[in-house]
Structure 1
């Protein structure tokens, strides 16, 4: 029977956990997830304190999917991890970012999703929606969108919730050397299994690769389709009185500076992410001799922090928006890895040589908000259903273009900028937008 076929999912991150959950809900009885780490994987972009949940997209496909996803976030399953605080997304006037916001609004309007959304163009309007911005140095050039139907999710806990549900439904999770994929086992030109660090080979009827930024390292043939990049973050700690002022604050995002969230209820840490095109680590070499970027995970280099220039950018953010906290220590500074496709569309497609292998990667920095729903699309792709087999997601050569939601046009290499020393263990990744 179809539901008795074995399925092996590689990766315990956003795509992998969601896919396992949705396949199990459909009645599949033999699902196994493997990863170097137990779920949620510490190397996953979703292993995070908080991530933005929003609906604005200049691409109609994702605008509709985001409206669907936010409804799913309201399910009681996520009542303790989803916080619909609203968010304010702005620019200081960068033309492409301004056009992106205008087009995003139009897409929501066309999908009847603009309830609670309005343009904001004056400091008074900004502060009306986010009173905590009264401390900011200068908001005179800020313009953007206020979205009431948005907020943030406790990312690590949300993935843990969904992983636990998948486990209850019979999904098996394997970690450690037995779960650490090293390469494909190929015999007579056919995929015969997944080799792991312990020396074992896992076999299944169907395989799904959900390995995010590590995808090009595991399958070098993807090196020219995907570009693995990392972003930087740090935290400041508030007193109990300060934390009370920022409690339930909407997410604030500025295209040129970065974004921040309300403080964590337990640690009283505010997480701050500076705005950047990201960093690469171009040390992989493909079959064609060309280099590609591979992740330098914090789990393998726990002593490393973030580049000095990123620390300076985060301090600039604090000086502008949170000046009363200027000079405070930056805690838990870390890098977090995602992988971009050329056009920011995901890669959800059968491998061109091995039809038993479904690729589900290329998050392009906007995957986590779909945690409750993305697995249903990947499950449909596995089953060959129209909803999951979209032309935008197919494995093909795509022209590379710049993501206008990220400022600048240069992606520096970590080897050129250097890594700082981590003062405290990092718990979080950069929140996606």
Structure 2
């Protein structure tokens, strides 16, 4: 029985955990607690970032399938939240998105997989001058060798993910949600079980936090607490920043996102530190190690690090050489690895556990989780209440049968870099950046 006075425990205070806490509080639930090993914003949370891409595309009838319909439903609700919810709307910048490629194969993939299947008006970019005209003079100085792109100016742009997550956290606390963060008090080391059900969680200080209902929303760390039957693969991407002067940054305001699906992307500089973020694009890194829980089989285990492999830095600079060569040689001011959890089909996983009726899993952002922040907590609350709409429920259900023979090295339809999933275990100690940031002990 779920009532307004039921105790609800959320494990994870990242993007989805904070959103869920907020939506539950807004619905009148009076006894919600959130646990996380880090203070908000967590250094390992995918949403702890100065900007993330946000875009919504309606799918043409001829290309509709259950997964695409569900994803469009999620992003439609998220877009509405970014535009109208005062907790989130200050952090959405509807500047548009350019999706592009620079090889015939990638260009054809974009055309068939994204442009032809979506409703909306796209401006086709065929030459370097076409790309330059999308931004103020002096921003795009590159030659764009072999590039072709499509500019979508509406219902797309970027979000300040970190500020939005802190805003959700702050509002949830104001509405009565209790957050217990930091190690050891907020670090969950195990789920608590009783009579064949999950009844809470144990933290590193030895405390058992009992609850009527438990929501596991710990992102890439979730499969350290529960056997997901191979449904989750913690996967990391790499990002870096370069510093600009305040005057330079002013000339880069309100830019559309420029995304090459095999090379990388950038968004306008951070308004506080005037740092331009660049991401190299690739199928992801994993950290494959043998864990005590699963002897004989290596699994990807996330870790926090504010450096990136030198090969990732080189890829980011190659992207800049194509687009903004005047910035390509600037030193990096910041870098980090950014973790998410991939499902086999890259659809979300939001469902009651079939063996533990009091446990709801809300995981599997699969690279698209942060932009769902304004509304995903509402869908998770729907699932908790048993009211998740059918078109979503059949897509995001517990589905270990499709992961039985999972290929942990699958690129899952992503491109770039060496066109394979890489392993941090193969990166030697001297093959990482060594960026000195404010307060660094390096």
Instruction: Give the alignment's TM-score, normalised by structure 2.
Output: 0.88
- Equivalent position SS for 2:190: strand
Partner of 1:297: 304
The equivalent of 1:339 in structure 2 is 341
More displaced stretch, 201-210 vs 36-45: 36-45
CA contact (8 A) 1:346 1:361 kept: yes
1:247 aligned residue (248, 253, 256)? 253
Give the equivalent residue in structure 2 for 1:424.
Answer: 436
Corresponding residue SS for 1:335: strand
Q: Residue 415 of structure 1 is aligned with which of 415, 425, 429?
A: 425
Structure 2 SS opposite 1:331: strand
**How far off its partner does 1:251 sit?**
1.0
> Runs of 5+ in structure 2 lacking a partner?
60-67
Q: For 2:98 and 2:75, how far apart are their aligned partners in 1?
A: 17
SS in 1 for 2:320: helix
**In the comparison of the two structures, how many residue pairs are matched?**
416
**Further displaced range: 400-409 or 379-388:** 400-409
Pair 1:273-2:279 in alignment: yes
Distance 1:426 1:8, change over 3 A: farther
Match of 1:61 among 50, 70, 75: 70
Q: Is the 8 A contact 2:33 2:179 kept in 1?
A: yes
Q: Distance in 1 between matches of 2:139 and 2:315?
A: 19
Preserved contact between residue 132 and residue 141 of structure 2 (Cα < 8 Å): no
Alignment partners' CA distance in 1, 2:438 and 2:51: 13
Which deviates more from structure 2 when the two are superposed, residues 285-294 or residues 397-406?
397-406
1:344-355 equivalences in 2 (<5 Å): 344-355=346-357
Distance 1:312 1:198 in 2: 42
> Match for residue 129 of structure 1?
134
Tell me how far apart the structure 2 counterparts of residues 424 and 51 of structure 1 sit (CA, whole Å). Answer: 24
Following superposition, the deviation at residue 386 of structure 1 comes to 3.3
Superposed CA RMSD in Å reads 2.3
For 1:17, the equivalent position in structure 2 comes to 18
Q: 1:256: Cα distance to partner?
A: 1.9
2:109 to 99, 104, 112: 99
Question: Could you tell me which residue of structure 1 aligns to residue 83 of structure 2?
Answer: 74
Q: Secondary structure at the match of 2:185?
A: helix
Give matches, 1:185-224, under 5 Å. 185-219=192-226, 221-222=227-228, 224=230
Residue 150 in structure 1 maps to residue 152 in structure 2? no
Give the aligned partner of residue 124 of structure 2. Answer: 119
Of residues 339-348 and 394-403 in structure 1, the stretch that sits farther from structure 2 once superposed is: 394-403
CA distance in 2, matches of 1:255, 1:287: 34
Structure 2 distance, partners of 1:29, 1:310, is 46
- The answer as to whether partners of 2:199 and 2:214 remain within 8 angstroms in 1 is no
Displacement after TM superposition at 1:57 (Å): 7.9
The residue aligned with 1:31 is 32
Structure 1, gaps ≥5 residues long: 299-303, 428-433
The verdict on how the C-alpha distance between 1:283 and 1:140 changes in structure 2, with shifts beyond 3 A counting, is: closer
Residue 287 of structure 1: how far off its partner (Å): 4.0
The alignment partner of 1:129 has SS state of: coil
Query: Which of 322-331 and 407-416 deviates more?
Result: 407-416
Please tell me whether the aligned partners of residues 57 and 104 of structure 1 are also in contact (alpha carbons under 8 angstroms): no
1:164-210 deviations in Å (ceiling 9; x for gaps): 11111111111121211001122343323211100000000000000
User: 1:430 — aligned with what?
Assistant: none
- Structure 2 distance, partners of 1:406, 1:126, is 21
Tell me how far 1:135 sits from its aligned partner. 0.2
Cα displacement (A) at 1:107: 4.8
Change in CA separation of 1:363 and 1:236 when aligned onto 2, cut-off 3 Å: same
